A = this chain, B = another copy of it.
């Protein structure tokens, strides 16, 4: 499984479908014909997409945690509660369910952003404010201890 990199501008059609960038499809496609993925939300206000395998791995971790923990329940209500599994159609598109569309404020134009093992789908304006160079500069300082 390759990495997801780069950003691509695509369009959501009137039926709520978007084509996944070919580069991303290649990264997932190990010669299989059917590509399955899971789409959910991120607190920053965008959608996150995982190849099915990566997602089920996350679920396996969550299963093992103490199920009575209230914080975990809140977290799962968010991550799992928004999750939507889907298969690409013959044209390499996926249907974005209306609740997810609304959550991420997706109109006609949407941006795909590669993020190694997963990728995100953004409304253009939100992407701009969330990932501007100024913001990154401030964050980089705090990270410098890590690597």
Contact = CB atoms under 8 A, between A and B. Distances in A.
A85 B80 CA distance: 25
A135 interface: yes
Contacts of A31: none
Query: What is the total number of copies of this protein in its complex?
Result: 2
What is the predominant secondary structure among interface residues of chain A facing chain B? mixed
Given A6-B97, A65-B147, A136 B74 contact: yes
A140 interface: yes
A71 interface: yes
Measured as residues with beta carbon below 8 angstroms from the partner, the interface class of chain A is: 35 or more
Interface of A: 3-9, 38, 43-45, 59, 61-63, 65, 69, 71-78, 80-85, 97, 99, 113-117, 120, 130-131, 133-137, 139-140, 142-143, 146-147
